Amino acid sequence: MAIQLGASSSFSSVFSTRSHTHDVFLSFRGEDTRSAFTGHLYWNLLQKGINTFIDDELTRGEEISQALLRAIEGSKLSLIVFSENYASSKWCLDELVHILECRRSKNQMVRPIFYNVEPSDVRNQRGTFGEALAQYERRFKGDMDMVLRWRAALSEAANLSGWHFSGGYEYEFIDKIVEEISAKVKEPTYLDMPKCQVGLDSRVKHILKMLDVEGSDVRMVGIWGIGGIGKTTIAKAVYNTIAHKFDGSCFLANVREYSDQHGGLVDLQNTLLSTIVRQKELKINNVHEGNTLLRRTLRYKRVLLVLDDVNKLDQLCALAGASDWFGCGSRIIITTRDKRLLTAHEVNPIYKARELDDHEGCELFRLYAFKKKKNHDDDEKLWISTIVRYAHGLPLALVVLGSHLCGRPIHEWQAMLDGYKRNHPKDIRDTLKVNYDGLEETVKEVFLDIACFFNGRNTRVVIHILEDCDRNNPKHSIEVLEEKALINVDVYGCISMHDLLEEMGKAIARQESTKLGERSRLWHHKDVHDVLTKNMGTSKTEGIVIKMPTADEICLNPKCFKKMRNLKIFININGWFCGKVDYYPNQLQLLEWRDCPLKFFPRNFNMKNIIQLNMPRSCISRFKSMENLKSLNLSGCKFLTQSPDLSGSPNLEFLDLSNCKRLKEVHSSVGSLKKLVDLNLQKCSNLVRLPGEVNWRSLRSINLNYCTRLESFPEIEGEMKYMTSLSLDHTGIKALPSSIGYLINLRSLVLANCGNLTDLPCGIYALQKLEFVSLNCPKLEKFPKKVDSEVLPTYSKVSHDNNRDSLTKR
C-alpha cells in the first residue's frame, strides 16, 4: 500500500531563482533499486519532461564525489529513495547530508520516498538502518562527528513530507510521485503575448469550456476565422493557461509558413517529437516514418498540442493524424482560416473567432494610438469612433492603424485614412491577402464579384445571377469563401464581407488593367464617370456600380452602352443622368436603380435576361415581360396603382411592393406564381384587392401589415407547406377564408389590431404547427366551435392588455 506522509504545505517552499542544471536529483542505493523501482521512476520522470540526474550520467574520470555535489547543488529538488540497504552506503549518507545542507542554504526542495521500509526505522535508526549506523560507529571511532551528522540527517529527512510504499502496484505509486513532482519543478515556458490585451478573457473562457481540460477523452478543438482576428493570440493565451497540466506541451507556430520551406513537415514533426519527448536520439527522416513514430511515442502521453495557422489537410495528417495518436486527456488546438480543413479532419467543436465589439475596439485602438493618455477631447473621441468603425472590430487593423497614427496631429488623420482605404498598410494587406491568393481562379472571381457588387445581398439571388454570368458553380465558390472566413452568410441567407476585405477585393479588381475598358468590374466613381461620358466601355465590361461622392449629373454619351455587349450588372445607387442613349445593354441580369425618374422602360431595351430588378422609390408604372426575373423590388414606388402583370415572369421568387401608397390592386397573375417565396405588401395603405384565388405552393412568408383598407384574404388552392408566417397586423380584414387550414406548417399568425375581424374559420384548428398567435380584435368575441374530426392545439394565454390576447402553443 502506498500512502503520502506529512502535510503537502511543506513541499511549497520557494526554491532559488538561479539557473539550475537539473530539475531532480535522485539519491538511491544502486544495488537495491537501480534496475527496478528507481529505474522505473527515472524513466517516468523523463517521460514527463522532467530533467532528472542519476549517477550513471557522470563523465568517466571525474571525481565522483565532486560531480555528485555539483549535481545536488544544481538541482531544484532532491528525491531520496530510502530502501533496505540505503544506510549501508557511505556515499548515500554523504549525499543525504549535502542535500539537507542545500535545503537549508538554497531553499532546495527535498522529498523522501520510503520504499519497503518504515519511516520510523529511518527516523530512529532501527532495523537495517540501526545496524548500518552501529557498524559506522565501530568503524569510525575517531570521527564520531561524521556518524552523528548521518544520524541527524536520517532523522531530519524522515520527518519531511514524502511517500511510503509497502505493497501494491508500483506503477500507480510512481505515477502519483511523478505528478506531484511535475507540478513543483516544471516551470512553464510562457509564450510571448501582445503588450495590450483587450477582450481576451471572455474568448479564452469560451475555449476552455470547449476543451474541458479535466476530461479523459482526446479532444481536438478548432479556432477558425479571418486573418488578423486574433486566432493565434487566443491560442497562445489558452496554452499559457493550461500547459502545466499536461505531461508534455508543444506550440507549433506558423505551420503554413514552415511546411512550405525546405524540410517542411519533417522538421515540424521533429520539433513536436523533441519538445514533448525530450529525447535527442529520436529523429524522423520522412513524413511517413514520422506518422508512425509520433503515434507510437505520444499514444501514452497526456499532451497539449497547438497547431497554429494550418492551411492544408496534409499538415493535420502529419502532425495530429487522429485521436488515437495521443494519450487519454490530450488536447489539440488548431487555428486556421479554412473551416473545411477542420470539418474534413473531424475536429469538433469549432470556435469561430469574433471581431471586437465597439467598446473593445475603442480601448485597443486608444492603447496604440494614444499610449497612456486617458482623457480625450471631442475631436479625438470622434476619430476614435471613426477608425473603429472602419476597422470593423479587426484587432490587426486597430493595432496597425493605431501604431501608424500615433503621435500624428489629428488634422492629418483624414488624409492618412483616405490613403489607407486606397492602399492598405502592408501588415494588413499581406495578412488579408493570404487566403485570397490560395483560392482557385473560379472562386477568386466570385470573391471579386461579391466585393464589388454583392456585399449585403441574398445568396440565392447572387447564385442565380452568377450562374447566368457564366461563373462555374458559384454555389460551391460561396461555400468555399464562407469556409475560409472571407464572407459570412447569416441565417437569412444574406452575404456580408468585412469592409477591409471588400476594399482589398476592389483594389484587386482595379489592378486588372490600367485601361478602363479592359476591366471587367467598374466601381470607382471616377472610372465610372469616364466610361459613361467618354464611351470607354468594351465587351470586357461586365459590371458597373455607380456611387458618386456628390449629386452632380452624369451626361451620358449616346453610345456609352454600345460596346458593352457583355454588361450584366448595373447598380445605380445615387447617380443622376442626363442625355439621350441610343443603345441599351441587352444582356443585363441585375438592374438596380433607386429613385429612377423613368415612368416606363424604352422600347428598344430588351429585358428578357433580367434576373433581379430593384427599383425602389422609382416613378415606374409600366413594365415589360421578363421571363427570367426572380426578384422584383418596387417598394415605395410613387405612381404604382396596380402591380404589374407578372404572367410573363413565372420564375419570380421575391416580390416587394411595400410602401406603395397608391397601390390599390395586386394583379391576378401574382396569385399564380408557383415559385414565389416571399411577398411583402406592408404599408400599402390603399390596397383593397388581392388575387381572388392563390396557388403559392412555394411561399414562405407574406406581410400585409398596415394594409388598413384590405378587407379580405384570398382563398387558398391546395396545401402551402412552406408557409411559416402570416402577418396581418393593422389590416381591415373582416374574415379569414376556411382554406386557411391549408397552411399546414404555419407557426406564426399575427392578427393584432384587426378592428373589423368578427370571427375565425373552423380551419384554424387544422394549423397543428402553430406556435404563436397575436390578437387585438375588439369585434372578435369567441373562437369557432371545434368539429370532432379536427384536432385543437392547446394554447396558453401569455398576455392580456386592453382586449389584446397573445396566445402561444403549449
Distance CA 306, CA 308 (A): 6
| Active-site pick, 63, 95, 137, 187 | 95
Distance CA 703, CA 685 (A): 13
pLDDT at 121 over 90: yes
- φ/ψ of residue 703, rounded to 5: -120, 115
Burial class (CB in 10 A: 0-12, 13-18, 19+), 296: exposed
At 451-470, the pLDDT tens digits run 999 999 889 889 988 887 77
Which cell numbers in the block locate residue 200?
Answer: 481576451
**How many CB atoms lie under 10 A from the CB of residue 689?**
17
Burial class (CB in 10 A: 0-12, 13-18, 19+), 624: middle
Confidence bin at 373 (pLDDT 50/70/90): low
Angle between helices 474-483 and 441-449 (to 10 degrees): 80
Confidence bin at 799 (pLDDT 50/70/90): very low
The helix/strand/coil state of 10 is: helix
Which cell numbers in the block locate residue 84?
Answer: 533496505
Q: How far apart are the first and last CA of the chain?
A: 60
Q: What contacts 450, CB < 8 A, 6 or more positions away?
A: 462, 478, 481, 487, 495, 497, 505
Cα maximum dimension of the chain: 127
Region for residue 552 given its phi and psi (left: phi exceeds 0; alpha: psi -120 to 50; beta: otherwise): beta
At 193-205, the pLDDT tens digits run 888 889 899 999 9
Confidence bin at 65 (pLDDT 50/70/90): low
Which cell numbers in the block locate residue 117?
Answer: 521500509
pLDDT at 525 over 60: yes
Region 335-358: mean pLDDT is 95
Supply the pLDDT for residue 188. 67
Confidence bin at 83 (pLDDT 50/70/90): very high
pLDDT at 46 over 50: yes
Distance CA 97, CA 90 (A): 11
Region 402-412: mean pLDDT is 87
Supply the pLDDT for residue 300. 85
SS3 content of the chain, % helix, strand, coil (to 5): 40, 15, 45
User: What is the Cβ-side half-sphere exposure of residue 616, based on CA atoms within 13 angstroms?
Assistant: 12
- φ/ψ of residue 4, rounded to 5: -100, 140
Distance CA 776, CA 562 (A): 58
Contact 252, 319 (CB under 8 A): yes
Supply the pLDDT for residue 135. 92
Supply the pLDDT for residue 465. 83
Distance CA 781, CA 757 (A): 10
pLDDT at 522 over 70: yes
Buried b / exposed e over 319-352, threshold 16 CB at 10 Å, is bbbeeebbbebbbbbbbbbbbebbeebebeebbe
At 206-228, the pLDDT tens digits run 999 999 999 999 999 999 999 99
Q: Which residues pair with 522 in a beta bridge?
A: 544
Supply the pLDDT for residue 539. 92
Which cell numbers in the block locate residue 306?
Answer: 497547438
Contact 168, 1 (CB under 8 A): yes
At 283-314, the pLDDT tens digits run 888 999 999 999 998 988 889 999 999 999 99
Min mean pLDDT across 28-32, 215-219, 370-374 is at 370-374
The helix/strand/coil state of 171 is: helix
Whole-number percent of the chain with pLDDT over 70:
92
Higher pLDDT: 265 or 48? It is 265
pLDDT at 6 over 70: no
Q: Which residue has the cell 523523463?
A: 46
Confidence bin at 787 (pLDDT 50/70/90): low
Distance CA 350, CA 281 (A): 37
pLDDT at 809 over 50: no
Q: What is the DSSP string of 692-713?
A: SEE--TT--EEE-TT-TT--B-
Buried b / exposed e over 22-42, threshold 16 CB at 10 Å, is bbbbbbbbbebbbeebbeebb
At 478-514, the pLDDT tens digits run 999 999 999 999 988 999 999 999 999 999 998 888 8
Mean pLDDT rounded to a whole number for the chain: 87
Contact 291, 316 (CB under 8 A): no
Region 554-567: mean pLDDT is 92
Region 388-417: mean pLDDT is 89
179 is catalytic: no
Higher pLDDT: 434 or 59? It is 434
At 654-707, the pLDDT tens digits run 999 999 999 999 999 999 999 999 999 999 999 999 998 888 999 998 999 999
Whole-number percent of the chain with pLDDT over 90:
55
pLDDT at 560 over 60: yes
Which cell numbers in the block locate residue 159?
Answer: 520527518
Contact 465, 589 (CB under 8 A): yes
Supply the pLDDT for residue 278. 66
Q: Which residues pair with 287 in a beta bridge?
A: none
Distance CA 52, CA 75 (A): 9
